[in-house]
Amino acid sequence: MATGHCKACGAQTIFNAEVGSNICIACGTLEDPSQSVLTSYLDFAPHGDSTREFPLSDVNTSSLRSIRSKNGWNLAGNTKEVRENRNLVAMQKFVHSLAASLGHLGLVPRALTLFDQVRGKTPKFRWGHKAKCIAGAALAIALREANKADSLRDIAYLITEPHISVARSFVYISRTLNITITPSDPTHYLPVLQNHLLSLLQHPPDSASPSIDKTANPLPSNIIDSIAPLIPNLAGIVRTAASVCSLVYPSSVNTLSLSSSLPTTLSSLTSLPNPPAAVAALILSIEAELRRPLPQHSILADRLGNRIGAGKAAVMHRYKLISEAVLVGVENVPWLTKHEKKKTKGAGDGRSKVPKATVVVQGLKDVLSFWEDIWRKEVKSHERPVLDLEENDDDDGGCYSGDESVGSTFTNSTGSEGSARSLSSLDTATTSRKRKRGNRKLTQASQYLLSPLSSALPSGPRPPETKPAAVPHAVPGSPDLFSPAHLLTAHVASLSAPPTRLQILAMERGGEEQVRDEELFEDGELESFMRTDSEVEVAKKMMDISEDDEQSERESQEVVPKKRRKEEGGTKRIDMDRLAALLVEPLEDQDGDDPGQSYPPDGAAEEVSEWRPMSPDLGWLGGDMDVGERYDF
């Protein structure tokens, strides 16, 4: 960079590439105003800023000509070199749009430099969704180097790629370029604080174990008695603390300004050290699980802060800022108890109806869910950056795949279920793209049924406008969204209750089958449940029951003895008289009887006359007919 002195005012001048001349930093006078700078279409991008990070001056002009080779003619603009340059320009615009969405345009040059270095050190680099993950991870590293939150979940949501793929690309870049990155997210300290809290709870103040560090002061007994019942649900407390940490580092600086309901007290925490914020988030999460403030929580802040180098004053300062932010969120959730003060006769306000700390801890989980809805609403209102790359068709093998390089050493269990690509597709990333893929939803459901504790819940159907929907932050208050391990965990209330008689006997005898029903009650215990005569009389008076009502009810409940069929003389379904008449009557002709026909009396002899032919009177046949014509004699 050329420097000099201004001819007008004598101040120092620096060289500016945009004007091609030295310019005075005091008065702005150009040393050589006659210089001209050639521009291109890249200087007039839609976002308004110059994007000449990958200039086209190094493009070989021969690549823009049609060249004849032994395999035929290579048309102009279809060579690998030209395609690489077009992809570089597209990637440059994509990173610029992504940084603009996060509100950090000043980190674009560093992110593009990291991307270019990784591309140069990766053999047979291929353009595609892996290149997009590397670009997002490069921007995350640039954010981390600038002492800002890496926002990996938000970047994965904006580029519509799985969070775990972006995280693996993050590790791949740091290893390839040998970059040492210090953690800047408070959630990195939560596992350490969790283990330290368990060690403090296991050594009460009156314990005299020689293994205890003499420099570490134990916790007071009242704090231990309050936190000890919450140990079975400690995993849920840590998840709530991680959600509180996500408020300290929002996805975009525009989120706080766009949402009027979000407080601005958290914006000052982004430039402060992170360990105190992690301790404050953990203490607030413990109080939210208890639904009341902890006694002497400043002592707990001191003990936990000593483990990661955070002072008590710094932790309580973060605790106060986060509590004020949560209190602002409580005012925007209609079903939560608000912080109100009693009215007084004087000009000032009276005491609070409900303590402010109680309002904060009781509404923390609902406020976190409320903020999550605001984040999604604001992100959906912004347009996502689009990347259009020309993938390589001539390179078949040896390409970079971020999943194979660091997949065995990097694991992450959050933020992957809401990505555009499911985890089942990551397992088949190295296979051929022409192979027919199965149903992703069926694969997710199968993996969840085979291993419910290690698999994420299968995602439900999404509306058309939110096709690449993702969950950027951990949703607080809903442990079953990320892990169903709570199904196998006993409830806290059941752990504190004394064991029943059945449980004690079953434990002694080796199973509940060995316990008889008579042994479930002690001698006289079942009779003690019955009401005495005096209690019965009192209950009758309270229920307004008289003796007449009891007598009528007793008579209605008497059982009437059933009579047998033999005692009543048989069944009534058959009319015996009609049956006897049918049996006595003679068989009748189906065509009916003649009116003049008579039957002989009973016991009389029946006379049978000699057979004779039919009567010759056949007029009914339609005319006179001779008998000889009918009968042959």
Q: Could you please report the per-residue DSSP string of 185-222?
A: SGGGGHHHHHHHHHHHHHS-TT---TTS-TTSPPPPHH
Structure token digits, residue 504: 């004690």
pLDDT score of 147 more than 80:
no
Length of the chain: 633
Q: Which helix (H) or strand (E) holds 584?
A: helix 576-584
Interval 463-483: pLDDT, tens: 444 444 443 444 444 444 444
Place 376 in a pLDDT band, splitting at 50, 70 and 90.
low
State the DSSP string of 554-605: HHHTSPPPPPPTTTTTS-SSS-HHHHHHHHHSPP--TT---TT---PPTTPP
Q: How far apart are CA 80 and CA 165, in angstroms?
A: 27
* pLDDT at 4 > cutoff 70: yes
- pLDDT band, very low/low/confident/very high, at 520 (cuts 50, 70, 90): confident
The pLDDT of 232-251, averaged and rounded, is 80
Each residue of 76-98: pLDDT tens digit? 556 677 788 888 899 999 999 99
- What local confidence, expressed as pLDDT, does residue 48 receive? 44
DSSP class per residue in 459-484: P----GGGTT----SPPTT-GGGT-G
What burial class does residue 224 get, using C-beta atoms within 10 Å of its C-beta: 0-12 exposed, 13-18 middle, 19+ buried?
middle
Nearest residue to 624 (alpha-carbon basis) of 616, 613, 615: 616
First-to-last CA distance in the chain? 154
The C-alpha atoms of residue 175 and residue 165 are separated, in whole angstroms, by 15
Q: Mean pLDDT of all residues in the chain?
A: 70
pLDDT in tens, 96-130: 999 888 888 888 999 999 999 999 898 888 888 88
Burial of 61-74, coded b for 16+ CB within 10 Å and e otherwise, reads: eebeeeeeeeeeee
Question: Which residue would you say has higher pLDDT here, 189 or 76?
Answer: 189
Query: Cβ distance 177 to 118 under 8 Å?
Result: yes
List, in sequence order, every residue forming a beta bridge with 14; answer none if it has no partner.
3, 23
Provide φ and ψ at 11, rounded to 5°. -80, 175
pLDDT value at 249 more than 60 = no
Q: In the prediction, which pLDDT does 192 show?
A: 86
Check pLDDT > 60 for residue 277.
yes
Identify the band that residue 212 occupies on the pLDDT scale cut at 50, 70 and 90. Answer: very low
How far is Cα 325 from Cα 265, in angstroms, rounded to an integer?
Answer: 6
Domain boundaries, the chain: 186-206+216-344+351-380, 485-515
From the list 246, 226, 526, the residue with the least C-alpha distance to 414 is 246
Q: Is pLDDT above 70 for 208?
A: no
In which residue are the tokens 């058309």 written? 464
| Residue 611 pLDDT exceeds 70 | no
pLDDT tens-place string over residues 39-64: 665 555 544 444 444 444 444 444 44
Helix or strand run (H / E) with residue 352: none
Look at 89-93, 178-182, 294-298, 372-376 and tell me which has the smallest mean pLDDT.
372-376
Side by side, the strands of the sheet bearing 12-16 are 3-5, 12-16, 21-24
The pLDDT, as a whole number, for residue 415 is 36
pLDDT exceeds 90 at position 214: no
Residue 31 · residue 13 · CB < 8 Å: yes
Confidence tier at 435 by pLDDT (50, 70, 90): low
Q: Is the pLDDT of residue 540 over 70?
A: yes
Cβ proximity of 211 and 432 under 8 Å: no
CB 300 within 8 A of CB 220: no
Question: What span, in angstroms and rounded, lies between the C-alpha atoms of 540 and 321?
Answer: 61
Contacts of 132 (CB under 8 A, 6+ apart): 94, 159, 161, 387, 389
Q: Give the tokens for residue 106.
A: 């000043």
Q: How confident is the model at residue 559 (pLDDT cuts 50, 70, 90)?
A: low
Q: Give the CA count within 13 Å in the CB-facing half-sphere of 177.
A: 22
pLDDT over 50 at 139, yes or no = yes
pTM across the whole model: 0.40
Determine the pLDDT at residue 625: 54
pLDDT at 620 over 60: no
The answer to whether 159 and 153 are in contact (CB under 8 A) is no
| Dist CA 99 CA 554 (whole Å) | 85
| Side chain identity at residue 417, one-letter code | E
Query: At 260, phi and psi to the nearest 5?
Result: -70, -20
Q: What is the pLDDT of residue 282?
A: 92
Query: What tokens does 169 get?
Result: 């690309």
CA dihedral 141, 146, 147, 150 (to 10 degrees): -30
Task: Sort strands 67-69 and 21-24 into parallel, antiparallel or unpaired.
Answer: unpaired
Residues β-bridged to residue 3: 14
- C-alpha span between 333 and 363 (Å, rounded): 9
pLDDT at 172 > cutoff 90: yes
* pLDDT higher than threshold 60 for residue 146: yes
Q: What is the pLDDT of residues 255-276, one digit of tens each?
A: 434 334 444 456 666 667 778 8
pLDDT tens-digit map of 314-358:
899 889 888 888 888 787 777 777 777 766 666 566 666 777 788
Helix (H) or strand (E) holding 494: helix 492-496
Q: Give the residue from 384, 385, 386, 402 showing the smallest Cα distance to 126.
A: 402
Q: Are 32 and 22 in contact (CB under 8 A)?
A: yes
User: Which is more confident, 438 or 29?
Assistant: 29
Say what the pLDDT of residue 255 is. Answer: 40
List Cβ neighbours of 59 (8 Å cut-off, separation of 6 or more): 81, 82, 85
Q: Tell me, what's the pLDDT at 482?
A: 44
Percent of the residues in the chain that have a pLDDT greater than 70, as a whole number:
55
Higher pLDDT, 402 or 167: 167
Per-residue pLDDT, 71: 63
Q: What is the pLDDT of residue 409?
A: 39
Integer Rg of the chain from CA: 46
